[in-house]
Structure formats: C-alpha cells, structure tokens
Structure 1
Amino acid sequence: MTVHIGAGIYQLKAPLEFTEADSGEAGKDITWLGEKGATLITGGLLLTGCQAYDAENPEQILSCPLDSTITDSISAEDNSRIKGNGPAFEMFLNEYRMQPARYPDFGWLYIKTPLDAKTQFSVYQKLPTFSGDLSNAQVHIFPSNDYFDQYLGVKNLDQANNKITLSSDSSNELAEGRRFYLQNAKEFLTTPGEWFYDKDNAQLLFIPPYDSVPKSPVISSTKNLINLAGASHIRFENLTFRHSTGNAITIVNSDSLAFDSLEINNVGGKGISADDQTVVDDNNTNIKISNSAIHHAGTGAITLTGGDRPTLQASGNSIYNNKIYNYTTNLMIYGVEIGGVATHVSHNLIAQGLSGGIRFTGNDHVIEKNEIYSICQNSNDCGAIYAGRDWTFRGNIIRYNYIHDSYGYGLTNVDIANNIIQYTYTGARGVYLDDGLSGTHVLGNLLVNAGNAAIQFGNGRDTIIENNIIKTNKQGLWATMYSPYYNWDWNRASLLTMPIDSELWKAKYPELTQPMAHDTWLEGNTIQRNVVISTAYKGYSLRYQLPAQSNVIDHNLVWHASSDIRVDYRIPDTGAFKGGALWSDWIAQGLETDSLNEDPCLTIVGSTVRLTCDNSPITRLGIKNLPSDMGLAK
C-alpha cells in the first residue's frame, strides 16, 4: 500500500507516531511517498510580525514577537553535554542556522588557570565589562581535550577578577589553554548572523546575515518529527525533514524499515537515530537508509545499532549511497555511528564535519567504498573511521574506502607563563583503531593526506592491515604502544561482557581465548603489501612501536621521491628503539622482511590509481589494484 503525500509544507506540533498497528507485513510494505524536493515535514514555527527593534541601533537588530505559552512548552532531547538556561529551540533564517549571540563574535577565549577541578577558572584574555543580564549565559567549552565539548551554564562572571564560575561540573577536569566562548546573553548580540531569545519581553532579537533579506525566520518547536516504536515493514521516500529540536526520525525496537531519497537538515539532534540508550534491549534490525542527503544536523547524521552481540545475530542494517556533510553543528559527535552486529556502510560521501566520520562498536561490520574527507575540522584525536577500547569488538572489515584531505584542529602548545597558547590544524587520522581495538581487517583503502596518520592502531591485537595505498605528508603507518597511564582495566573488563568461551565465539574469534604474552603490547598483527608514498619532511613517515614476537611486517613498499624514508621504532622485546632511523637501519632490526624502498611507478588522481610503468615493484610484491567504484554509486 502506498500513501501519497502531495507537495507542500506540513507543519507538525507533535511527532508522527508509528507503532505495530501502523505496520505492514513481509512482502507488503506500507510506503509513505512524497514528491521529491517538494514535500516538507517541519517542526518549525514561522515567525511573523518582525520589525526593527530600534531604528537608531547600529547593529540593525530585528525583533519578532513570540507567544510565551508556545515557547515555554518547547523541549529538546535530554543531553548530558548540554546544560544551562539556553533556549530549547534554534533559529533559522532563510534556512541558515543562526548563531546564538556570543562573545567573542569570532574565535575563542582560553582558560588561563583552573581554580578548581571542574567549575571555576580564570580567563587568559581580559574580559570586557558586561553590564547586562548574564543569568542565562552559557559557555561552549572544550574542558580538557579537543574532541569532547559541552554547553554549561554560567553561575558567575567575575569581571573584576577575570574569572568564570560554572553552574554545573564539566565532565572532564578543566585544563589551561583550553578553548571556550560565551553565548546566550542580549549584550552579546552585535554581529550579523546572531540571535537572542528575550524571554522577559517575549521576543526574539536577531541580526540578519550579511547581504540577507530576512524572508523566513523560523524557530524549531517539535522535538522529533517521526517516532517509530515496534514498527515494521514501512518505507519512507521522497520526503524532506527540517526544524526539530531533537532528532528528525527516532527508531526504537523496530524491524524492516526503509528510508530512501530523503533530505534531512537543520535539526537540533540527529538526522536518524536508532539507538535509544534509555530503552533496555533496544534492537533495530533490517533498517535501510539509502540515497539520502543528511546535513546541518546538530549532533550527527545517523546512529544505528542492531543485532545481538552475545549470539552474534546480524542486524541486517545498511547505510548506502548517502550524502552526509556539515553534520556536527552543535556538538562534536561522529557523523555516522553504528553498533551491534553486521551493519553494512557503503558508497556514502561523508565530508565537512567538525568531528570524525564513522565510529563503530560491536562486531562483523563492513565499512566499504565510502569517500570521506575534510573531517575533524574543529576537533583533534579523531578519525575518518574510528573505534576503540574493547577487545571483543572483532570481525570488522574496513575496505576500499577513499579517505583524503583531513587535518584536524587542536591545542599543540601551551605555556601560560610565557603567553603561549598555540592551536594548529593537526590531529585527524584516516583509519584510527584506538585503545587496543583488535581483530579488524583493514584492506585496500586509498588514503591521501588523511591526517597525522593514515592508519593508526594503538595496542591492538590480531589486526590485519594489507594492500592499502597511502600518500601522505605525515605518518603513513603508525603502530603505537600507549603510555603506562592508559587504564587497561577498561579492556580487561570488556572480556567479561561477552561469552567469549562459548563455542560460537571461540569458533568465530579463537584468538580471544588464547593466552596473551603481554596484554599491553601489540601482538598477532599483520602489516603486509601496503604502499606508502611519503612527501613528509625528510621522509618521516613510519612509526612502529611493537614487539618482534608474533607480529608480521612484510612485502610493503615505501617511497619518497627526494629523501630517504625514516622510521621511529621501539621494539620492546629486544630493547631496540630509535627516532628518525634510516630505512636501512629499520630493516636491519629484522622485524620487517621482503619490503622494498623503490619508486612504485604510480599516479593518484582523485580515487583513481594508475601504474605508469610495466615493471612496477607493486606487481612483484603481489599488491592488487583497488576498485574503481569508491564513493557515491553512479
């Protein structure tokens, strides 16, 4: 059965609810079909009656009256990272997401000195005098690193002593040099593109962006647009969703749902969320998300978890051929997050994200033929594809992805006494297997200037890295042993969360029950038939911190057109270590065998790799060609 939804704007005051009673049957899906690009489902409230706030004000502030009975009832998704008295809604002007009035207008302030662990700090810059009401002000802050941000209320802004006291604890301890800005105070409203909710006077104040005629001011007013709980065999196609304070689409304990040719943008939460942490045993299976555009989402584009890990029952979920970009407008959260068992993520374009690209947990996922670039634009220590901190996350395959042109952004040097706070464009990774992640197969990926490390795996076990082609001005391959400060009890505890001694798990992942010679070392890994073309300064392009015992490194090709290749190595079971060793020195250690330092005779244009000579050493090493269909499906 097909429900046709005609062209038009459908404003929702409450989400559309779909349950078992609204479901189809196997082979008899119910399709909700819109007209592509013309059927809009919105949770937005169009503002009318806007006029000049003050004809004499130089900022050209406009004022729109609001009905406080409506705005007081607006709520957003609960999020432990968002505290304080900021409004639950967002404002959009001509579909441009407006910035809550902030100070400074551009850039950041910095923590000078933490005055206690989590609530009070002095400010590096001199705060100007604010004479207005700051009772609803918030800080958007990275308390101690560059990948976890929060919005916290301001209890007190002491301008005389240049310090700030927060109304809630930060999740992590405050650290000097870390960045923040203030927002949500009328006095901060000074720059085009900003807005402020004047609750006392029931009005919304804003300054239009440069060269913008304010035709359609909208505030988001509905938490979710579609809720599916216990639903099945329903298809949504050719629909546009906008202006939710939370997710556009929320899915709980549902099966056999399809979302095709959707556009989702300007939402406060996620585009599509099928992972409700508040629901016990939430399991979503056979969810298909395809051919859609998800962008300008507040906390990521897609979260999808399903299947049963103890029994390794596959979810049947897939994310295929979607355009995902500008997906972290409010919080630094990965664009696509998958969990559970056997989700297939393929042929997607993931780009222009302030945070990382794909994050996975669980088992047997396949992430293939995606194009990922320009990620981690406002964060550090993150990856195009990332997972970590659990030895039982195994059987995952990362293959044939085109990952390129990402840099990251983060604090690289702080010395308050000498007035040094330095942030640089650094810290992104391509494939990032963090915190002991193990049992992953990284095969046939093309990584071109993918970040500080094209492929980094930290203290992982039983990982295979093969047939990848890397061109980089940073590190190509980075196998790292973490410092003694890393808490290995996290990983040891993970072994108790799954039935690793069951016949099923022993057959699928036999290494999990084998004795570990050193559980804090990298053991049982294979690095073979990879190409690393370095353009790095003096050829600094490889870091290997791993024991000779049980690891295999062979049949790789490394090349720098004008310099030797240099390797930082540490081999704990032999005691050998050296920074910036020449390639010949590294080979003499005996850990890597049958590898070549020769011109590979290849060119890389976009995602296309071509050999330029008949006798390329790549052929001799058995390195295979990469597929030609990486990225969006044609």
Structure 2
Amino acid sequence: MKNAYISLFAAVWVLAELTPCLAAGREIFVSATSSPGGDGSRGAPFQSPVQARDWIRNERKAGKLSPGESVTVLLAPGDYRLEATFELEAGDGGVSGAPVIYRAEKQGAARVFGGLILSGVSFQPVRDEGILARLDPSVREKIVCCQLPAEVPLPAYPDAFVGMPPAPWLYFDGRQMPLARWPNVDAANGGWSVFSKVVDNGLPKAESPDPHAQKLHPGAFVCDDPRVGRWSLADGVWLMGYWTHDWAEQVIRVAGYGKDDGVITLAAPHEFGIMAGNWGGKKERRFFAFNVLEELDAPGEWYVDRKSRVLYFYPPRSLDQGGPVLATMTSPLLRIRNAAYIKFEGIRFEYTHAHGVAIDQSRNIELAGCVIANVAGTGVTVSGKDNVIRSCDLSDLGAGGIVMSGGNRKTLEPANNLAVNNHIHSYGLFKRTYAAGIVIEGCGQVAKHNLIREAPHNAILYTGNEHLIEWNEISRVVLESNDASALYTGRDWTTQGNVIRHNFIHDLGAGDSRITMGIYLDDCDSGDTIEGNILVRAGMAIFVGGGRDNAVSNNLVIDCSMGMHLDGRGVTRIQWSNPVDPSWALEAKAKALNYTQPPWSERYPHLASIMREDPQLPLYDSFERNVFVNCTDDVCELDSVVLGMLDRVRIASNLVVNTTGEPSLAKPPVYKGFEYLAGTPEKPVDLGFGNAKSGNYTLRKGSLLLEKVPGFQPIPFEKIGLYRDTYRPNLPNREPVGAMQ
C-alpha cells in the first residue's frame, strides 16, 4: 500500500512538472454592479476590467504573481462603459501554458462599450417653432429631442472625406441609425438619387493658360428634384456619391444650389472627376444627401444641431423600453500592443466611433466567441503572429470585419494569424468600398470556415504571399458596386503563393452580372492557386486579368454569366511597368523584394526569370478540370492577346454543361480544352449533386460529373462554412477540417 501511495505521488509530481498549464491559476471577479473598493474576490468584485488589469500589474510588480501563473478575469453579466480605450501592453500578458484570460461568465452577457446611453425621459417633444417649420408637417409630432451633455464631442465635418464621418453616431436596438437623409434608405429607388447631366466634371482644364486651373477642382451637376431648394445649406449638407466609378465613393459637401437651373455645386473635387467615364458604361451617377434636418422624416433618422447641441430623433418605437446609444469614443474599445498570451472569451464589444479591437504587433492573442458590433471603423485589426480570431460575430460595422497583417514578405516568414469560424455581416456602412469582411496582408495569414455576407463591396481582399483562404461561405456581397468581386487582389506580380480553395461563393451583386466577379485576380496578379471552389450565381465567376502562373482547377461554376476570363492587359494597356503611375510599377515592386534571390527565386522561379520571358504576357496560366453549368453569356472569354498565344496557356479537361439544352445559354468555346454536354427539357443532365435546387452541391457516389471529368476531386461541400464548437453549440455538427481546435 505504501508503495502504491509513493507511485501515485510520483505520477502526480511528474504530471505537474510536465504540464504546468494544469496548475490552478488565479481567478479575479468583476461586476459592473458591485460596490466600490472591491478586492477582486467573488464576494467583493472589481467594478471594471480596467481595475482587474491594474491589480494584475501591481501583483506582478510586488512579486506576488509569477509570470508563469495563469490568471482568469471573470466578468459578470452587465454593461462596462469605458471612458477611454482599455489598453493592454507587454507586461499584461502571460506565457505559453499560462495565459491571461478575460472571460464573460455567461457568453455574450458582459458588454464593454464606449457609448452614452440616452434615457427615454431625456427626450422631449420639439417646441422650437423655427425647427418645426423646417420639418415635414406629417412628422412634426413624432420627432423628439434632447440636449447633449457638454462632454459629447461635436467636431466639424470636413468638406470631403471617405468612410467614417466625424463623431458621434446614434444606435438604437443594436443597429446603426441613418443621419437624416434623402432619399430614405427604404425608398423605392434603393435610397439613391441619380443625375445624368454634368455642368463641370471637375477635371483639369488643359486648355487654360492659368497653371492653377491644371488641378482638379469642385464639379457641378444638375439635380432635377427641386426639394434641394428647401435645404439649409448653411448648416452643412453632404452628398455621398459614386461620382464616376462604382468602386470609388466619396462624401462631398454641397457648396451651392441654383434654384433656377437646379445646379448643385460641390465644395471639393473628386479624384476621378464627376461623371468622367466609368468601366461599367452607366450614363447615370448615384448619390444621397445626409445631415439634412428638412429630411428628418423616416423612423430611425436623427440629426444634431451642432450649434445648440440638440439631438433630434424619430424613434422607431416608444422610448419607454430604453433609449438609443450615442457612440462617443473615438478610439478602439480594446487595444493590445506588444503583448502575448492573452485571451478574450464571450465578451461583447460595442459602440465606438473607431475600430472595435486593435491587436498591434502581438502574438498568441485570441478573441473567441466574442461579439464586435456597432463600431464606425473595422471590427478587429490584427498585426503580429500566431493570433486567432475564432467563432466571433462581427456586424454593423462602418468599415470592414477583420484586418490581418504580419509576417515577413522578404524572407517569406509566415505570420500564421488565423480568422476561423467567424460570422461577418452588415459591414461597409461608412467605407463602402475596399473595406472587406476580411482583409489579408503580409505573409502567411489563414482565413477559413467564415461566413461573410451582406455588404456593398468585397468579402475578402488580399495582398501579399502564402495566404490560405479556404472553407468560407460568401453570399450577397458586391451589392452596391461594380468592377468588383467577392475575393479580390491585383496589380502586383509578387503576390504569389496564395491558395483559394473549397469556398462556396454565391448570389452576388444587385445589378449587372457582367461587371460583378466571384474571384478577381486584377491587373497582372500572379502565382495564385484557385481550386475546388463552388461559384453559383456569381457573375463573372473567375476573372484573371493579365497575370501569369495562376492555376485554376477543379472548380464548379453554376448559373453564372461567365465561367472564366483571361486577358493580356500587360500588352493592351502598356502599363505593366508604367513610370507615371507607381501602382503599375510591377517590376519595381518585385525588385523591392529581391525577387531574383533566394528565397524568392527558389519559391517562385518563373517570377525570377520574368524579365527574360515576355513580361507583358500572361504565361504559365492553367485552366483544368473545371465544370461550367448553364453559363448565360460566355463560358471562357479570352482576348486577342491570349488567343494569339494559346500554345503557351494550358486549357484542358474542362466540362461545359447545358442541363436542358436551352438555346440562349452560352455555347462551348471553339478552341480545345472543353467537352460539351447538353440535355433536354424532358431529360435534363443530372451531374449527381445531392440536391442542387436546395443548394446542396455534394456529389453522390458514381455521379456523372466524375465520369465525364476524370481526375475531378469531389468538393466536400458539407464541410464548408461555420461549424459547431464551444461558442457555437447550436450549429449542425459539422467536423472542421484541419487542426483548428
């Protein structure tokens, strides 16, 4: 018996020595409703996570808390209002096996926020006769107002800006409210007004002898609606417009309006001029006006008189059940700098007029099961290495969802930052273009198993090297723009080694499918692998704009306007090394990364020899074993440059399917590399999908597709998208692919 006890003791001692992470750590308790003077115990909690952080700092400084001892800060349900950013620095983290954890005791019930909750009783009916006279008679009794406290910042609006307007912003029932605008968000025209007649496009006037006239200047256009004449321009009215291109929006103040001719003159120039020609060829341009008291006429709209500091609001419901929140902070809710081994679990981060969470030059930081919502900037920005954003919900964001950067492009050292199992939606509310659900930069980032939807522009925007983008579901993006895509990269020879596989991209765009893309390698982007993706109703599904060394294989394209595209714009645009436009200096970008020396020359040998091998041509591209079903316009579009060099591009073993033999659908290309299969209305082609009508593209055993395309690898459709874990217990029991737990 004695020997048994000794053996048991020895085993426990060895286990403790080998697995220090199992040692009991400290627990600190926080409650927003606790009394002042708490010590962090369960019976006397701290009042804020800031106090818990400071306690950890002091204990470590006093030598009472060792760096190898884990600490868990437990936040009770409640609201934790911040006056300033919650900052964590190098000394606030942990070590491997002993992290510092901030955890909500109940997932989603602890909220860290930077807003001012406006009580319902602080709002009163409008009594000011001057204000009432400016409101539409039908809503005068529905508008309420409140006096803002002196500490609420009300900075002036600039004449022009892109993205986030000056603070503050109003939220109600967990959603962003529209600043009084015309047309209204739910108007029949989609919330936009249009114009087609320009008086002055704002571009330089080359014929003028005045050198100052060679610069861009404010433009002017004709607005046919006379209601503009009702607006008080002296109080400031701004127009958010797609002035020339549908991928370049800008907000510009109205400088003047002519009631006789209907001409609106803008207060600042736009980079591309006003209606100065666009790729989509649309004759009309779009805009809406906001910050217009006279247009405060729809539920949810609000307006601030910045002189009197009075907020006017048209509440969508009674304020007896709770008032709106005014986001007043102008910095991130949480910032982690130069720290390591910190984890946040199950906490809500809401209401700031800035980015939500900023993780700067840190490693092994994890956000898990958190909510980041109602912020005016990006939900989460991450730089450093080995950081994880897992199973978080990000929504109602002024810019994008997650931005990941890090790694070393010169040495091709990966950052290994990971965005996994996140639901990102309703973003791009202020910055409407190039503010993607996930932005990937640097070297070696991973984005997998995310659900990204409901946005005006991109879902995933990437640049850099060796990124992995897989198992994501993307839908209903590119809803407001054109010449845009779900996944986008471009204008760089060096963004090589990126893999895009096993993604489900569907139901894109809200307009012309010929100028919406699924996967868009723009302007000579090179060296990407696109394999095993499913694209359904995704416009121009796979678009390769002049790049080389791109491998496109084993993709399934269904009900798209075009299957794939390849052009030789390095020849036709004469821009592959344009000294006038730095963004087109492709060779210079490569030289900056020592592309002819290891490791680049070893990893990307075709890039290393590019200047000796017709750099203007899209060489070494391959399109193999792709299946195109019911394309409406084109199956494969190649321009004249590519058609003249088909022997230098590999196109082989692709299948074109017209399920019912519909004569209006696209015919197979006349050049080699495509097999054609057509059915009839009475006997449509059955490729062997589980249930395509209900959106199930799993292949049945012995399917016709596998017979017709030897070597086609079944795409594990059932594993794409979000999966069940500790933070998402109610999802289908879908096994995640790869080591992600």
Q: TM-score range by the shorter chain?
A: 0.7 to 0.9
After superposition, the Cα gap between the structure-2 partners of 1:503 and 1:193, relative to the gap in structure 1 and judged at 3 Å, is same
Pairing partner for 1:384 from 452, 473, 486: 486
Partner of 1:439: 527
After superposition, the Cα gap between the structure-2 partners of 1:29 and 1:486, relative to the gap in structure 1 and judged at 3 Å, is farther
Matched, 1:127 2:226: yes
After superposition, the Cα gap between the structure-2 partners of 1:41 and 1:254, relative to the gap in structure 1 and judged at 3 Å, is same
- CA contact under 8 A between 1:327 and 1:353: conserved in structure 2? yes
SS in 2 for 1:507: helix
- CA contact under 8 A between 1:13 and 1:221: conserved in structure 2? no
Return the offset for 1:492. 3.1
- CA contact under 8 A between 2:509 and 2:516: conserved in structure 1? yes
Output the CA distance in 1 between the equivalents of 2:96 and 2:593: 32
Pairing partner for 1:624 from 693, 703, 713: 713
SS in 1 for 2:302: strand
TM-score, L = length of structure 2: 0.75
After superposition, the Cα gap between the structure-2 partners of 1:460 and 1:210, relative to the gap in structure 1 and judged at 3 Å, is farther
Output the CA distance in 2 between the equivalents of 1:101 and 1:135: 13
Partner of 2:108: 37
- CA contact under 8 A between 1:523 and 1:549: conserved in structure 2? no
TM-score, L = length of structure 1: 0.87
SS in 1 for 2:419: strand
Matched, 1:359 2:461: yes
TM alignment of 1:481-630, pairs within 5 A: 481-482=568-569, 484-485=572-573, 487-488=575-576, 489=578, 490=584, 491-515=586-610, 517-536=613-632, 540-545=634-639, 546=642, 547-563=645-661, 583=668, 586-587=670-671, 592-593=672-673, 595-597=675-677, 599=685, 601-603=687-689, 604=692, 605-611=694-700, 616=705, 618=707, 620-627=709-716, 628-630=718-720
After superposition, the Cα gap between the structure-2 partners of 1:18 and 1:612, relative to the gap in structure 1 and judged at 3 Å, is closer
Pairing partner for 2:417 from 298, 317, 326: 317
Pairing partner for 1:142 from 234, 242, 248: 242
Output the CA distance in 2 between the equivalents of 1:213 and 1:612: 59
Pairing partner for 1:187 from 294, 297, 306: 294
Deviations 1:127-154 (A, max 9, x none): 3222535432211111211122122223
- Bigger shift: residues 295-304 or 512-521: 512-521
Return the offset for 1:440. 0.4
Partner of 1:230: 338
Deviations 1:165-187 (A, max 9, x none): 33333232221622111111222
- Bigger shift: residues 109-118 or 440-449: 109-118
Structure 2 residue identity aligned to 1:44: G
After superposition, the Cα gap between the structure-2 partners of 1:486 and 1:15, relative to the gap in structure 1 and judged at 3 Å, is farther
- CA contact under 8 A between 1:120 and 1:163: conserved in structure 2? no
After superposition, the Cα gap between the structure-2 partners of 1:43 and 1:518, relative to the gap in structure 1 and judged at 3 Å, is same
Partner of 1:370: 472
Return the offset for 1:233. 1.2
Output the CA distance in 2 between the equivalents of 1:31 and 1:427: 46
Pairing partner for 1:88 from 167, 178, 185: 167
Return the offset for 1:561. 2.5
Partner of 2:37: none
- CA contact under 8 A between 1:468 and 1:530: conserved in structure 2? yes
Matched, 1:284 2:372: no
Partner of 2:59: none
Q: Which runs of 5+ in 1 are unaligned?
A: 275-282, 410-423, 568-579
- CA contact under 8 A between 1:110 and 1:180: conserved in structure 2? yes
For the aligned residues, what is the CA RMSD? 2.6
Partner of 1:575: none
SS in 2 for 1:494: helix
Output the CA distance in 1 between the equivalents of 2:704 and 2:460: 37
Q: Relative to total residues, which structure has the larger helix share, 1 or 2?
A: 2
Partner of 1:113: 198
Deviations 1:260-285 (A, max 9, x none): 000111111111013xxxxxxxx521
Output the CA distance in 1 between the equivalents of 2:321 and 2:221: 39
Output the CA distance in 2 between the equivalents of 1:348 and 1:335: 10
- Bigger shift: residues 49-58 or 15-24: 49-58
Partner of 1:570: none
Partner of 1:58: 138
Structure 1 residue identity aligned to 2:219: Q
Deviations 1:417-472 (A, max 9, x none): xxxxxxx576321111111111000011111111x211111101000000111112
SS in 2 for 1:549: helix
Deviations 1:189-246 (A, max 9, x none): 1222211011122210011237887732111011220112212211111100111101
SS in 2 for 1:460: coil
After superposition, the Cα gap between the structure-2 partners of 1:51 and 1:313, relative to the gap in structure 1 and judged at 3 Å, is same
- CA contact under 8 A between 2:596 and 2:609: conserved in structure 1? no
Matched, 1:260 2:368: yes
Partner of 1:245: 353
After superposition, the Cα gap between the structure-2 partners of 1:204 and 1:486, relative to the gap in structure 1 and judged at 3 Å, is farther
Return the offset for 1:3. 1.0
Matched, 1:340 2:442: yes
Aligned length: 587
Return the offset for 1:346. 0.4
SS in 2 for 1:155: strand
Q: Relative to total residues, which structure has the larger strand share, 1 or 2?
A: 1
Output the CA distance in 1 between the equivalents of 2:603 and 2:251: 43
Output the CA distance in 2 between the equivalents of 1:76 and 1:174: 21
After superposition, the Cα gap between the structure-2 partners of 1:162 and 1:493, relative to the gap in structure 1 and judged at 3 Å, is farther
Partner of 1:12: 82
Structure 2 residue identity aligned to 1:533: V
Output the CA distance in 2 between the equivalents of 1:554 and 1:211: 64
Deviations 1:64-107 (A, max 9, x none): 210134234x7999x95258xx6411101222311011122343
- CA contact under 8 A between 1:407 and 1:426: conserved in structure 2? no
Pairing partner for 2:561 from 459, 463, 474: 474
Output the CA distance in 1 between the equivalents of 2:254 and 2:297: 20
- CA contact under 8 A between 1:23 and 1:232: conserved in structure 2? yes
Output the CA distance in 2 between the equivalents of 1:213 and 1:610: 54
- Bigger shift: residues 215-224 or 152-161: 152-161
Structure 1 residue identity aligned to 2:652: D
After superposition, the Cα gap between the structure-2 partners of 1:160 and 1:501, relative to the gap in structure 1 and judged at 3 Å, is same
Output the CA distance in 2 between the equivalents of 1:76 and 1:614: 61
Percent of pairs identical after alignment? 26
After superposition, the Cα gap between the structure-2 partners of 1:486 and 1:98, relative to the gap in structure 1 and judged at 3 Å, is farther
Deviations 1:543-586 (A, max 9, x none): 1232213210001111112448999xxxxxxxxxxxx7x53x71
- CA contact under 8 A between 2:560 and 2:631: conserved in structure 1? yes
Return the offset for 1:630. 0.8
- CA contact under 8 A between 2:233 and 2:256: conserved in structure 1? no
Output the CA distance in 2 between the equivalents of 1:114 and 1:602: 58
- CA contact under 8 A between 2:231 and 2:292: conserved in structure 1? no
SS in 2 for 1:522: coil
- Bigger shift: residues 59-68 or 433-442: 59-68
Matched, 1:453 2:548: no
Output the CA distance in 2 between the equivalents of 1:135 and 1:629: 54
Output the CA distance in 1 between the equivalents of 2:493 and 2:241: 32
- CA contact under 8 A between 2:496 and 2:527: conserved in structure 1? yes
